Structure 1
């Protein structure tokens, strides 16, 4: 891996954006949070800035990310959520201790405590995953149609027919590959 880590893929859904910190899961995986500092960067980008991030925090984050991915994949395939994944998600949510706050301009932000901790931030991510996996948020979980990606995403399109985790990445790669095969 180069000195510089790959850019984050940031979507509108916190929990699935978090699972997207490991991409190309069925190809050559790309780890976007390989260090505690990169995890802190991602959390900051998502509005969950923390004061410090340790290797243990990174390990807990990786465990949560994989549990969310496993549960989302199972749901997208019409299967029950695996017990181990559910336990990890629930434990992270319970440990979190973050509180939602209303801003003066009518938006929600998260209060992660003093000092703001990774545990609290991961609790927010786990809570978002629970809202998605339990059906509280509108949409259906789907898997990217790219055979190398297979990322879970929340499809909120009108007909629930979205095929790609991101059109700018996987969708464009597939379109280019089809065009090349036709003209190659």
Structure 2
């Protein structure tokens, strides 16, 4: 990772991990892809390596990110999907030229067009969002219980009762806050 930028919050689900490139949405937002190079870095982590990225492509990626977040949030609370978000997701999906390929190890990977365009990578992310929001995958969309985060995440736990988008960040922060609040209510007697 390049110094000077916040770490990526990596997850197992491409589309919701992409929405995590803007975290703490209800507090002091943290932008994790502030530059075109940083988007290139994030895409490479997810096996979607691109050759270059322009500021306009970064803007389009952020527009897709926010559309996925809006649609996933609506789906999680069982509200109608925002038409503008659906349009952006569908448009990005249709503009991408990527193919699913099978590795010798039996895993699916994505092969972008020969030009390795950002639009192809965004198409893969949009297609992943469509499969999640449409309910085609085993899991459930939920919202993080952290009052400063409230990120949409895809819960694949057996009970489908996860509360946090990421236990290592939001979950630990909330548990630590609860522990400290309980300690201040019930201080230990001095010896």
Q: Deviations over 1:2-56 (max 9, x none)?
A: x711000010000000000000000000000000000000000110000001101
Report what 2:53 is aligned to: 53
Aligned residue pair count: 182
Q: Does 1:153 find its partner at 2:153?
A: yes
The SS at the match of 2:161 is coil
Q: Deviations over 1:80-114 (max 9, x none)?
A: 11100000000000000111111111111111011
The SS at the match of 2:91 is helix
Q: Distance in 1 between matches of 2:87 and 2:36?
A: 24
Q: Distance in 1 between matches of 2:156 and 2:81?
A: 21
Q: Distance in 2 between matches of 1:38 and 1:93?
A: 22
Q: Which runs of 4+ in 1 moved over 6 A?
A: none
Q: Distance in 1 between matches of 2:133 and 2:78?
A: 12
Tell me how far 1:158 sits from its aligned partner.
Answer: 1.5
Tell me how far 1:160 sits from its aligned partner.
Answer: 1.1
The runs of 5 or more residues in structure 2 that have no matched partner are 185-191
Tell me how far 1:74 sits from its aligned partner.
Answer: 0.5
Larger radius of gyration: 2
Tell me how far 1:128 sits from its aligned partner.
Answer: 0.2
Tell me how far 1:157 sits from its aligned partner.
Answer: 1.3
Report what 2:102 is aligned to: 102
Deviation larger for 21-30 or 110-119: 110-119
Q: Distance in 2 between matches of 1:136 and 1:36?
A: 32
Q: Distance in 1 between matches of 2:82 and 2:148?
A: 23
Q: Does 1:83 find its partner at 2:83?
A: yes
The runs of 5 or more residues in structure 1 that have no matched partner are none
Q: Does 1:43 find its partner at 2:43?
A: yes
Q: TM-score, normalised by structure 1?
A: 0.97
The SS at the match of 1:154 is strand
